[in-house]
Structure 1
Amino acid sequence: MAAADDARTAAPHPHALLLPYPAQGHVIPFMELADRLLDRGFAVTFVNTEFNHRRVVVAAAGRALGAAAAAACDGRLRLVGVADGMGYGEDRDNLVRLNACMQEAMPPRLDALLDADDERLGRVTCVVVDAGMSWALDAVKRRGLPAAALWPASAAVLAVLLGAKKLIRDGVIDDDGAPVKLENNSFRLAESMPAMDAVFLAWNYMGNRDAERMVFHYLTTTAWAAVAKADVVLCNTFADLEPDIFGPHSPAATTILPIGPLRTWQRRTSEAPAGHFWRADDEACLSFLNAQAHGSVAYVAFGSLTVMSPAQLQELALALLASGRPFLWVFRPGLAAELPAAFMDLLPRHGRGKVVEWAPQEKVLAHPAVGCFLTHCGWNSTLEGVRHGVPLLCWPYFTDQFTNQAYICDMWRVGLRIVPNDSDGIVTKERIMERLESLMCDSGVKERMKRLKDLAERSMGTEGQSLKNLGTEGQSLKNLNTFMESMRK
């Protein structure tokens, strides 16, 4: 062990290994954290599954990811792919199987990375793992390395997971996470905290009870392990966004360190690594937006996992055409064939609609032509909408997206729900058009979103708490914040 300690001490830079959960919404904030560490003089080994590593590298072709990005940060960035244990062609959107396979296949490769003495970067001196991958902390702690766990979703969801044992004791949920009795459909994590709607039970949106049970046990087990084994638990949020969670009487306030919104740190260059799985069509998107009137465009993007039935796709497509408003619709690569033929025939005649496979979402939301964001309510998208002051039209798909919708519509009141108005669960064209028009014309929503945007800006300012928690420019080694100090030990 002494030799290993000497090797780590002799390294020219502190060397962080980052391990995100293999989903787009997790990889992106981890890449943003990597940028932050690189800015502070760290070397970074960024570990994706082999499947996602290939996607990230291909998507970044022509950008400064890989050799060019490494050169930009003095060669201190290394991208690595490790096997996830699944076979060729298996469905990696089957999260239950993916979780089981990763826990068996990945530890030996992580052991090798932690013990390797890289010629350029030296040995790993600290580790940041996704809270959903906290089983990896066992290998880290065996080596006595400082470790952080990053929760890339809302602090409210994490607080509920950490409080699940109390919810079981109180008879709110059973041992498998299913609701038992919820008076007025609500519960409290602590008497000092306000009531939470049952929608905060995010694991209950997986489609079938067996999957929900397995996801409940996986999420709670990994969340508890993150708190028990990591030196600090980070969250991609800011205190003013979730004041009930970070208030003085909240049991989670002393456990979770807010460092967000991570997705919007100002980078030294626009060519920093981004971690997208698909290449964004920057030029086409921005050229289209440049030709539209201020605040007129509906931006439509449902993330990397959302699936819609053909009947629902048709209603949405026809609603966008019939609304008369310009729209920019992100339709994931490989799925364009699912768009209704009638829509594709009418699109050229509409003249003010654009369909792309992937968009530079931050740039799109920052564009003055965008008036609203029709979103699946993933946490990254939610934060990006807040950061850029764009009202949100909510159409969640599963898990914590329903929690985020509750925040957006009920607590912050900066968006509207789209809910089915038919017995078959289909949201009709007319309903979509009505919700879109209501949101675009709601000045109150716009004012409230502007206030949230200002709070996000403040959290990232030189006196902002999130920036202080993560690290501000010019800090000396004797004056480091909680996170950086723990990582440099």
Structure 2
Amino acid sequence: MAAAAASSTEASHVAPRFHALLLPFPAQGHVIPFMEVAHCLLDRGFAVTFVNTEHNHRRVLAAAVGAAATSAGNRSQLRLVGVADGMDDTEDRDNFVRLNATMKEAIPPHLEALLDGSGGEGQGEVGLGKVTCVVVDVGMAWALDAAKRRGLPSAALWAASAAVLAVLLGAQKLIRDGVIDDDGRPLNLEDNLFRLTESMPPMDGTFMAWNFMGNRDAERMVFHYLTSTARAAVAKADIILCNTFAELEPAVFTTGESPAAAILPVGPLHTGSERRSPSHQHLVGNFWQTADDACLSFLDAQSHGSVVYVAFGSITVMSTEQLQEIALGLEASARPFLWVVRPGLAGKLPAPLLHPAAGHGNCRGMVVEWAPQQRVLAHPAVGCFVTHCGWNSTLEAVRNGVPMLCWPYFTDQFTNQTYICDIWQIGLRISMVPNYVSGIVSKEIILDLLERLLSDDGVKQRVQKLKELAEMNMGADGESARNFNILVEHMTRSMP
């Protein structure tokens, strides 16, 4: 199947000198930071071909309401391309084991054509010229082979924490040290805790990025996939980037012990458009976006620091019983709340929550299917964030100074919870509280934790300090900004 492309109607008549191809792993938590890298490169004068799987390409375009954002200014140098992932339309794209296997076979032929300037309809119309450099997801490290064969400068971006990447790169040492077995299962650990190096924080072997998926065969395959692709990315890419900043994970970046010590932190990458004028606002890779920004008007009507923002990402699954307990806990708090419920799940909530005017009690909230999360977290009315602890959401909360109530679901989210609650101490965890039984967190627990978090001045002070460090890194003289300059210099120093 030919690659499908969407391009601006304002194509440049002169091809930019530098043209980057970006290939993220097909999950929202990866597409979002890659899209921000794309726009950072566009700001530096690059043209960008952004390659999604066809499935996600359609979702991103639909979410962008026609991708109107790509028609402003230098956004005319952005081309969005969709390529086949090898799965049938009826298959579940959340089955990452299956998806990883099919993509590795289906995508390379399209990638080869795109690198040679012959793939994807619309290439000549946009006039971007041949690709001169490549940035791929660490999880797509096999794509680096095509770049290397052409002598193209390349980088690999890790979209999660540097600590998780360090564990993947250090997996063989953990096996030798008897921390995990050959398939990643923890062995004989006291309280399941281990340290990758003496200077790094303790980590829970039960909740590593490949564990806690409910299927041991899948966990084993994910372990081998993640560790092998991480090693391949380090071996093949010229530069390894990570969406983090040094002060957030000092044990990784301040010593030479960590296997990931050589990566360049370039975060927190902006994942919203608040830093640009309205004419330069842009698509950032959300899958559920709609044109409805009514939630921002709702926030404008609330007092400072009063709103509980609840959002569990694009994959997290909860039972009807649990959703109802959350609803009852929010209602009992008598605090205003904004709750993002994925499409199709709102029907599981109590009717008064969806239609408070027809209901009763103290419900003063708003339930939506999508919210502009970066703008929400930046709003002064938001007091805390009930989150699944995805890395993007974690960084967005940090860079906006918002405390977190942690509700991790799988993969790296448990490691992020450890950072939030134990190391940075800017949030509370739900999974280790009294009266947590039968896998259901009661409304009483939710209410208690919200009140504790919102009244903790120490948490507020610590998260404000991290916000200041994030802003410093994002500034022109910040370390993350300087590291991005290193990337740009490498990508532009020679032409193939």
Tell me the TM-score normalized by structure 1: 0.92
Inter-partner Cα distance in structure 2 for 1:177 and 1:351: 45
Aligned to 1:269, which of 250, 271, 277?
277
Q: Please tell me whether the aligned partners of residues 132 and 219 of structure 1 are also in contact (alpha carbons under 8 angstroms).
A: yes
Q: Please tell me whether the aligned partners of residues 193 and 250 of structure 1 are also in contact (alpha carbons under 8 angstroms).
A: no
Aligned structure 1 segments of 4 or more residues deviating by more than 6 angstroms: none
1:307–1:193 Cα change, 3 Å:
closer
| Residue in structure 1 matched with residue 479 of structure 2 by the alignment | 465
1:222 aligns with 2:229: yes
Aligned to 2:174, which of 158, 167, 172?
167
Aligned to 1:129, which of 132, 136, 139?
136
Q: Please tell me whether the aligned partners of residues 310 and 385 of structure 2 are also in contact (alpha carbons under 8 angstroms).
A: yes
Q: CA deviation at 1:280?
A: 4.0
Q: 1:135-155: CA deviations, max 9, x gaps?
A: 111111111111100001000
Inter-partner Cα distance in structure 1 for 2:200 and 2:347: 48
Inter-partner Cα distance in structure 1 for 2:472 and 2:190: 38
1:253–1:167 Cα change, 3 Å:
closer
Q: CA deviation at 1:352?
A: 1.5
1:41 aligns with 2:55: no
Q: Please tell me whether the aligned partners of residues 192 and 249 of structure 1 are also in contact (alpha carbons under 8 angstroms).
A: no
Inter-partner Cα distance in structure 1 for 2:478 and 2:28: 27
Which deviates more from structure 2 when the two are superposed, residues 266-275 or residues 163-172? 266-275
Indicate the SS of the match to 1:202: coil
Q: Please tell me whether the aligned partners of residues 356 and 363 of structure 2 are also in contact (alpha carbons under 8 angstroms).
A: no
Inter-partner Cα distance in structure 1 for 2:75 and 2:270: 23
Which deviates more from structure 2 when the two are superposed, residues 21-30 or residues 204-213? 204-213
Inter-partner Cα distance in structure 2 for 1:460 and 1:216: 33
| Residue in structure 1 matched with residue 34 of structure 2 by the alignment | 30
Aligned to 1:380, which of 354, 371, 392?
392
1:367 aligns with 2:379: yes
Q: 1:183-237: CA deviations, max 9, x gaps?
A: 3432222345454343662211211211111111111011011000000010000
Q: Please tell me whether the aligned partners of residues 16 and 46 of structure 2 are also in contact (alpha carbons under 8 angstroms).
A: no
Q: 1:416-453: CA deviations, max 9, x gaps?
A: 01126343111001001100111011111000000000
1:428–1:188 Cα change, 3 Å:
same
| Residue in structure 1 matched with residue 456 of structure 2 by the alignment | 442
Q: Please tell me whether the aligned partners of residues 252 and 261 of structure 2 are also in contact (alpha carbons under 8 angstroms).
A: no
Indicate the SS of the match to 1:176: coil
Query: Gaps spanning 5+ residues in structure 1: where?
Result: 1-9, 472-480
Which deviates more from structure 2 when the two are superposed, residues 74-83 or residues 388-397? 74-83
Inter-partner Cα distance in structure 2 for 1:332 and 1:19: 26
Inter-partner Cα distance in structure 1 for 2:293 and 2:310: 17
Alignment of 1:90-169 (within 5 A): 90-116=91-117, 118-119=123-124, 120-169=127-176
Q: Please tell me whether the aligned partners of residues 300 and 373 of structure 1 are also in contact (alpha carbons under 8 angstroms).
A: yes
Alignment of 1:407-426 (within 5 A): 407-419=419-431, 421-426=435-440
Query: Gaps spanning 5+ residues in structure 2: where?
Result: 1-13
Q: 1:240-276: CA deviations, max 9, x gaps?
A: 0000110123333542110000135864334222111
| Residue in structure 2 matched with residue 456 of structure 1 by the alignment | 470
Q: CA deviation at 1:283?
A: 2.7
Q: CA deviation at 1:385?
A: 0.2
| Residue in structure 2 matched with residue 13 of structure 1 by the alignment | 17
Inter-partner Cα distance in structure 1 for 2:388 and 2:199: 31
| Residue in structure 2 matched with residue 336 of structure 1 by the alignment | 346
Inter-partner Cα distance in structure 1 for 2:252 and 2:317: 31
| Residue in structure 1 matched with residue 11 of structure 2 by the alignment | none
Indicate the SS of the match to 2:418: helix
Which deviates more from structure 2 when the two are superposed, residues 199-208 or residues 19-28? 199-208
Identity of aligned residues (%): 68
Q: Please tell me whether the aligned partners of residues 309 and 339 of structure 2 are also in contact (alpha carbons under 8 angstroms).
A: yes
Q: Please tell me whether the aligned partners of residues 293 and 372 of structure 2 are also in contact (alpha carbons under 8 angstroms).
A: no
Inter-partner Cα distance in structure 1 for 2:205 and 2:355: 43
1:321 aligns with 2:322: no
* Counterpart residue type for residue 187 of structure 1: F
Alignment of 1:144-293 (within 5 A): 144-198=151-205, 201-252=208-259, 254-264=261-271, 267-270=275-278, 271-280=281-290, 282-293=292-303
* Counterpart residue type for residue 397 of structure 1: Y
Q: Please tell me whether the aligned partners of residues 15 and 45 of structure 1 are also in contact (alpha carbons under 8 angstroms).
A: yes
| Residue in structure 1 matched with residue 314 of structure 2 by the alignment | 304
1:133–1:74 Cα change, 3 Å:
closer
| Residue in structure 2 matched with residue 478 of structure 1 by the alignment | none
Q: CA deviation at 1:333?
A: 1.7
Inter-partner Cα distance in structure 2 for 1:198 and 1:218: 18
Q: Please tell me whether the aligned partners of residues 297 and 327 of structure 1 are also in contact (alpha carbons under 8 angstroms).
A: yes
| Residue in structure 1 matched with residue 417 of structure 2 by the alignment | 405
Q: CA deviation at 1:73?
A: 0.7
* Counterpart residue type for residue 321 of structure 2: A
User: What's the C-alpha RMSD, in Å, of the aligned pairs?
Assistant: 1.9
Q: CA deviation at 1:351?
A: 5.2
Inter-partner Cα distance in structure 1 for 2:368 and 2:65: 18
Aligned length: 467
1:199–1:415 Cα change, 3 Å:
farther
Q: Please tell me whether the aligned partners of residues 199 and 402 of structure 1 are also in contact (alpha carbons under 8 angstroms).
A: no
Q: Please tell me whether the aligned partners of residues 17 and 46 of structure 1 are also in contact (alpha carbons under 8 angstroms).
A: yes
Q: 1:272-330: CA deviations, max 9, x gaps?
A: 22111122455311110011111100000000000001111111111111111100000
Q: CA deviation at 1:365?
A: 0.6
| Residue in structure 1 matched with residue 8 of structure 2 by the alignment | none
Tell me the TM-score normalized by structure 2: 0.90
* Counterpart residue type for residue 302 of structure 1: F
